[in-house]
Amino acid sequence: MTLLETISLLRTQIEADISGLTSREDAERFRLTHLVKKGTLQSCVDGLRSVPKEDKPVVGKALNELRALAEAGYQEALDTYGAPAPIPSIDTTLPARGARSGAIHPITQSIQKLVEIFGSMGFEVAEGPDVEDDAHNFGKLNFADDHPARDMQDTFFVENRERADVLLRTHTSSVQVRVMESMKPPIRCIMPGRVYRNEAVSARSLAEFHQIEGLYIAKGVSMADLKGTIMEFARQFYDAHAEFRFRTSYFPFTEPSCEIDMSCFLCKGDGCRICKHSGWLEICGAGMVHPNVLRACGIDPEEYSGFAFGFGVERVVLMMTGIDDIRMLYDNDLRVLGQFQ
């Protein structure tokens, strides 16, 4: 059979195939049979080599016409039935990667736990602004005008064209003031939040950290209520069999003031790494709200009394985990954070 005869037969076949194209899949099959490199048309082209020179124009022309016909038929089927589905760029047969779940940051976890425990004792959560004024952070808390805590070295001041007393709160006691100004006793609030101090960052201190403040104002509140509240909290949070030590201390906004220690929950007082071999852990600063503070916030100290306490949340996390560098809580290293699921 000459190549011309083969082409003629192929033409009959291609015409029949074209008239049978009724789907995208048909068109694809047609392309794979006739139009690709290993298809029928190309094998005719390959055959051209052995056609005598004088016959080449006729055979070549017939072949070109057939290719045009086949391509037009294919194109028409594509236009009618759509292009073949693209080869997917992802391999859907690969096994899936396991989903990694996130976790709540240990600082937030601790705040949630503390809020829950104090909540069970009737304390509500109150919040205040991070950017404060001098009155709420110092003045109404009975800090003398020349108190060193107002010093530029401790406090971050915020530039403000209208006033010079804008600052980032240095403790959550500012929220005490806001709560007393806006609520009528009895008041029982717990106030978690960020605080800021212009301190060098080290393994033991940060310039930005968290505190939790507690405040209870009502008729006849005494130091005994303070002791009972803190002991109940510490026994729920740290150690059901803890012993306590109340040391006298000084804060401008409380009188009397104290610092409260608890027997180390790890060594039970024998001395270990967590308690720096003292057997005791300092858990908070506290005291009876100073009459000057009550007065400055519009509460009559003759009628009401109250206690306040406050402590740093990061320190709690360090104690509970045995981590000895506070910066690790802020490095966002998943090898550390992943351990607090």
Tokens read off for 153:
């070295």
Span 270-299, contacts to ligand PHE by CB under 6 A:
285-287
CB 186, min distance to ligand PHE, A: 18
- Binder among 177, 310, 314, 319 for ligand PHE (CB under 6 A): 310
Question: Is there binding between residue 309 and ligand PHE (CB under 6 A)?
Answer: yes
- Binder among 171, 178, 188, 290 for ligand PHE (CB under 6 A): 171
Binding mask 199-218 for ligand PHE (x = CB under 6 A): --------------x-----
Closer residue to ligand PHE (CB): 32 or 125: 125
Closer residue to ligand PHE (CB): 27 or 283: 283
- Binder among 137, 142, 173, 229 for ligand PHE (CB under 6 A): 173
CB 290, min distance to ligand PHE, A: 10
Per CB under 6 A, the segment of 155-163, 292-300, 307-315, 322-330 that binds ligand PHE is 307-315
Closer residue to ligand PHE (CB): 40 or 137: 137
| CA separation for the pair 149, 153 (Å, rounded) | 8
| CA separation for the pair 144, 150 (Å, rounded) | 9
CB 305, min distance to ligand PHE, A: 14
Orientation angle between helical segments 106-120 and 313-321, nearest 10 degrees: 100
CB 249, min distance to ligand PHE, A: 8
Span 91-120, contacts to ligand PHE by CB under 6 A:
none
Per CB under 6 A, the segment of 85-93, 104-112, 161-169, 305-313 that binds ligand PHE is 305-313
Closer residue to ligand PHE (CB): 27 or 293: 293
Closer residue to ligand PHE (CB): 40 or 211: 211
Question: Is there binding between residue 136 and ligand PHE (CB under 6 A)?
Answer: no
| CA separation for the pair 3, 10 (Å, rounded) | 10
CB 113, min distance to ligand PHE, A: 19
Span 245-264, contacts to ligand PHE by CB under 6 A:
251, 254
Tokens read off for 288:
């009876």
Size of residue set near ligand PHE by CB under 6 A:
11
Per CB under 6 A, the segment of 16-24, 151-159, 185-193, 304-312 that binds ligand PHE is 304-312
Closer residue to ligand PHE (CB): 74 or 251: 251
Q: Degrees (nearest 5) of the Cα angle 115, 118, 121?
A: 145
CB 185, min distance to ligand PHE, A: 17
| CA separation for the pair 204, 209 (Å, rounded) | 11
Find, among 147, 175, 144, 180, the residue nearest to 295 by Cα: 180
The letter for the amino acid at 9 is L
Question: Is there binding between residue 185 and ligand PHE (CB under 6 A)?
Answer: no
CB 286, min distance to ligand PHE, A: 5
Residues found near ligand PHE in the complex (CB under 6 A): 171, 173, 213, 251, 254, 285-287, 308-310
